[in-house]
Amino acid sequence: MLRYLLLFLFVSTIALAQRNDSLRNGGVNMDSVRYTNLKIRMSKTKFSRSVYRLLFRDVYNQGKKGEVKAIETNPFTPYEGMVIRKIIIKQLDVLGESVYDTTRVGKQVERFLSKTFHTNTREKIIRKSFLMFSEGDEIQASVLRDNERLLRKNGTITDARIIVEPRTDVTWMADIVILIQDSWSYNFSGGFNSFNKFNLGLNNTNVNGTTHQQQTRIRWDSKDTLDKKFQFRTIYTIPYIGKTFITGQASFIYERDQEIQSIVFSRSFLTTETKYAGSFDTGHAKFRQIKRNIDSLDAEYKYQTGYWYYDAWIGRSFKFPFKNSSLSEKSRLVFALRHNRYRYNERPEVSVDNNKIYWDRSATMLSLGYSNRSYKRDVLIYGFGRTEDVPVGNLFSLTLGGENTEFGQRGYGGIQYATGKYLPKNSGYLYWLVNAGSYFKKGAAQQGVISGQTNYISKLIPFRYSYFRQFITVRYTRGIRRDPLDYINISRDNGIRGISNDRLIGTKKFTIGTETVYFSEKSILGFRIAYYAFADFGLVASDRKHLWNTPVYQGYGFGLRLRNENLSINTLQLRLGYYVNIPENSSPFRYAIEGNTPLRLRDFDISAPAVVPFQ
């Protein structure tokens, strides 16, 4: 709570009204005039003013009567083939300005705070590491659109926009204007009970304007029962190294329940034009585990696990050989190879038939995948007004491999299929995923998983002066020949939110979660407000029980979320819940004030060959 109280005190100094009375110079001016006229027309009634305040950040999503809709056309297509004469990078202040309303100018106090307490991302860093095109290149509409999306995807940037300005003197040339607005780079956290027990944290998402990210946190508890009075963590991340789009991260964590030292370099299939992807990860990890036996819930086991590991993979994507077709433009075939090794120095007792997840092992896996993906712009899904890029497409992958363990060799096979699309007649967005995979030894399955998930997100539904959405999530998971200490839990984000209960465990589950979110037009000190109500239902059982004969665990509640998209902190969430028939639950009511990391929609890019997760 301390970090949010400090943040409110800080933001209250800039909670004055923003003014929209200043025109910009250059080619952006025409864009400014157009949106200024739009604002004037929408200022005649209270309803239209509310719609404009809600939607003005996303010029691609203006529809009839303020309804937000996705627009599939690429705004850069008319400039295809023109030569880029000059790239102009315009960095906006963190506070008071907007990439979609270039007439807006922050108040003097906002400009002072933006320039005094924040260092904008260095222009040479943007040119060197974040742009997929250069001066002298021909404009490719798909590249510009992907680059705009990747800029928004970066955690140091609140929003970004690319504008093409054709030259009047040379008709085959154009200038590129890139508008970038950073998020506030500092995020303080902390808690204080006494000088014998406190914690402090600092997360800098843009170290000295380099886009490097550093997270540091310390804890002190003089009465810790495990004699870990001092706890510490630091994680340093370089989003993109040079022009390679490789991300590097080093972690050192020394905490009560985990100790991790690791280093990783990774590059994903950022766009459909990315040919190579891969990663290399190595380090040592140690965890304190508390488990129950799913066949005897009163039996509790406490132990530690520790292991050395390395994990590497590389993938190559190929275009379809059908020129001038949708398959050639958006679809790719991807081959990937992965090898890893795990060696335990601390673990519970293992045997040929027990605790297979703690075996010493090395594995080699190969995958063949098909990916078709594109993106549509939308707002007010998981964000609070920023532009959101919604993945649309499908994915299929087949994974085969073998594993060498201390108890012999075994094979692995798995398949995955996923699809996501906007439904006809503006009925919403539907995503579903199906997974199946298992190890095999002497023709028998081991540690198998069958799982499926469906997500439905409704369209924005007008209500009074704002909008709301309906979210529905359905999940099913079944484990095949899992070990007694290898199970799933339907607490928290795995089923019933707001509770943490180590008795809601089993090898198979079925959960349904619903949430209604109302995005208010109101704000508090620059924080947008969203009210929500939820209902969660879950079934969980072991192999010895039939899933449909178990109790239906339930959770109901409501709350609100506060978020300022210009700040790098998590969403502040307040929740009151009522929970039915939860084992050993002293009270059916629970409340929480917590930080909530904003979610992102699952993409359709293929990554490393992997074992189907049991979750």
Q: Render pLDDT for 228-274 as a digit per residue (tens, 0 to 9).
A: 889 999 999 998 888 889 999 999 999 989 999 999 999 999 888 88
Last residue of a domain, one of 125, 160, 182: 182
**Residue 434 token pair:** 């199906």
Residue burial 8-26, b: 16+ Cβ < 10 Å; e: rest: bebbeebeeebeeeeeeee
Last residue of a domain, one of 131, 166, 182: 182
- CB distance 284 to 341 below 8 Å: no
The pLDDT value recorded for residue 2 is 41
The pLDDT value recorded for residue 568 is 61
Q: How do beta strands 83-92 and 173-182 pair?
A: parallel
Same domain? 565 vs 418: yes
Domain housing 435: 270-282+315-341+351-596
**Is 162 a member of any domain?**
yes
Last residue of a domain, one of 182, 216, 248: 182
pTM above 0.85, yes or no: no
Residue burial 86-95, b: 16+ Cβ < 10 Å; e: rest: ebebbbbbbb
Same domain? 139 vs 278: no
Phi, psi of 329 (to 5 degrees): -80, -45
- CB distance 132 to 138 below 8 Å: no
The pLDDT value recorded for residue 158 is 80
**AA letter at 17:** A
The pLDDT value recorded for residue 101 is 61
Same domain? 276 vs 147: no
**Is 539 a member of any domain?**
yes
Tell me the mean pLDDT per 10 residues along the chain, length 615: 41 35 35 44 54 41 35 76 92 72 60 68 88 91 88 82 89 91 81 86 87 92 85 94 91 94 94 92 95 82 94 94 70 95 95 92 96 87 82 95 95 96 92 96 93 95 87 96 91 90 93 94 79 96 90 95 74 90 85 77 88 93
**Is 36 a member of any domain?**
yes
Q: Specify the number of domains making up the chain.
A: 2
Which stretches does DSSP call E strand in 205-348?
A: 213-221, 230-241, 246-254, 258-267, 276-293, 296-319, 331-346
Q: Render pLDDT for 296-333 as a digit per residue (tens, 0 to 9).
A: 788 888 899 999 999 999 999 998 876 666 666 788 99
Task: Kindly list the distances between the CA atom of residue 559 and the CA atoms of 249, 446, 521, 575, 580, in Å, as whole numbers in the listed order.
Answer: 35, 42, 16, 4, 18
Same domain? 473 vs 332: yes
Residue 170 has, within 13 A of its CA and on its CB side, a CA count of: 9
The pLDDT value recorded for residue 385 is 74
**Residue 471 token pair:** 């979210």
| Rounded CA separation 520/52 (Å) | 13
Same domain? 154 vs 278: no
CATH code, domain with 320: 2.40.160
Task: Kindly list the distances between the CA atom of residue 566 and the CA atoms of 409, 458, 573, in Å, as whole numbers in the listed order.
Answer: 52, 26, 17
**Is 53 a member of any domain?**
no
The pLDDT value recorded for residue 171 is 85
SS3 238: strand
CATH code, domain with 156: 3.10.20.310
**Is 13 a member of any domain?**
yes
Same domain? 178 vs 275: no
**Is 534 a member of any domain?**
yes
The pLDDT value recorded for residue 470 is 95
Same domain? 275 vs 168: no
**Is 515 a member of any domain?**
yes
**Is 212 a member of any domain?**
no
